Amino acid sequence: MFGQAAIRRIESVQYLILKKVGHLLEEVKAMSAELDTLKASVEALTTTQDSAIALLGQLSQIIKDNIDDKPALLQLANDLDAQKAEMAAAIEANTPAT
């Protein structure tokens, strides 16, 4: 039916196809790992963003609650100044490099 040369050509093409499929599978695995990393980064950003939103909401409420209490507002400003460097470092540490 088929000669030996034809069978060798078919086997050769089959080998090349299987080799390409193997490379494609490796690329898909690598892309999957990269996607998992990206998902984790997005989740971390969302968590950080949610925390920042909650903090700003609480800060806004504290200011509103103490609008006529200058000493309380001054204490709040002093507390924020004291924590500014720590907060900046935490934000920088949790911000992915671009």
Say whether pLDDT at 67 is over 70.
yes
pTM, two decimal places = 0.47
Q: Looking at the domain assignment, is residue 98 inside a domain?
A: no
Residue 65 has pLDDT above 70, yes or no: yes
pLDDT band at 19 (very low <50, low <70, confident <90, very high): very high
Tokens of 10: 């078919």
If one counts the domains in the chain, the total is: 1
State the pLDDT at residue 18.
Answer: 95
Residues 6+ apart with CB under 8 A from 72: 66
- Residue 72 contacts residue 66 (beta carbons within 8 Å): yes
> Residue 72 above 70 pLDDT?
yes
- 24: containing domain: 4-93
**Which two three-digit tokens encode residue 38?**
């990206």
Range 73-79 average pLDDT: 87
In this predicted structure, the answer to whether residue 79 has a pLDDT above a threshold of 80 is: yes
Q: Is residue 69 part of a domain?
A: yes
